[in-house]
């Protein structure tokens, strides 16, 4: 990882997710959870569970592709990988959209926008790396993170 990414990561994970979300979502007197029985809350919880479950599933697939102690890369494949280069980013976005529906807070939306932009950049780099490393074998994807959108 380039050294400049340290500062970007500190901002993203500490400032956006740590301070901003903690203050506007988790502080009891500022909480948006008063309407906890609404349909939007339940939909958000379902989206969160689906997103986190499939995100974990994708990471397990990716982890199984590299034999222990090697740097060998393989092309990821499977149903989810047919639509986007990085389905883990798609499910992570779904996960955070669920958090947004539950919290109904602008700070979560801001965090999602920043995260999606970063994941889009990472997906584009991964797509380019696949095209370079697996030239002639890899079938390029039209979208990197979210089918039909990004």
Domain total for the chain? Answer: 1
Instruction: Evaluate whether residue 53 is within a structural domain.
Output: yes
Instruction: Answer with the residue of higher pLDDT: 147 or 33.
Output: 147
pLDDT for 74 equals 84
Predicted pLDDT of residue 1: 61
Q: Is the pTM of this model over 0.85?
A: no
In a domain, 127, yes or no: yes
What average pLDDT does this structure show over 75-103?
Answer: 88
Spatial CA neighbour of 55 closest among 18, 86, 19: 86
Q: What is the 3-state secondary structure (H, E, C) of 11-55?
A: HHHHHHHHHHHHHHHHCHHHCCHHHCCCHHHHHHHHHHHHHHHHH
Q: Is the pLDDT of residue 130 over 60?
A: yes
DSSP label at residue 85: S
Whether 121 is in a domain gets the answer yes
Question: Quick check: is 147 in a domain?
Answer: no
Q: Which residues contact 53 (CB under 8 A, 6 or more apart)?
A: none
Q: Domain for residue 23, yes or no?
A: no
- Least confident window among 16-20, 62-66, 102-106, 112-116: 16-20
Tell me the average pLDDT across 98-111: 86
Range of the domain at 57: 35-66+73-133
Say if 96 falls within a structural domain: yes
pLDDT at 27: 63
pLDDT of residue 36: 54
Tell me, yes or no, whether 39 lies in a domain. yes
More confident residue, 40 or 150: 40
Q: Is 54 a member of any domain?
A: yes
pLDDT (tens digit per residue) in 24-78? 666 655 554 555 568 888 899 999 999 999 999 998 888 888 888 887 888 888 7
């Amino acid at each position: 990882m380039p050294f400049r990414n340290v500062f970007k990561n500190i901002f993203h994970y500490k400032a956006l997710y740590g301070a901003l979300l903690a203050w506007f979502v988790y502080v009891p007197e500022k909480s948006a959870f008063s309407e906890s029985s609404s349909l939007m809350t339940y939909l958000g919880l379902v989206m969160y569970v689906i997103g986190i479950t499939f995100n974990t599933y994708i990471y397990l697939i990716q982890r199984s592709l590299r034999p222990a102690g090697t740097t060998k890369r393989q092309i990821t494949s499977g149903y989810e990988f047919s639509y986007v280069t990085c389905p883990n980013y798609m499910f992570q976005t779904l996960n955070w959209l669920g958090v947004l529906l539950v919290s109904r807070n602008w700070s979560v939306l801001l965090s999602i926008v920043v995260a999606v932009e970063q994941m889009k950049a990472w997906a584009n780099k991964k797509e380019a790396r696949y095209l370079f490393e697996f030239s002639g074998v890899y079938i390029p994807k039209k979208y990197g993170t979210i089918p039909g959108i990004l």
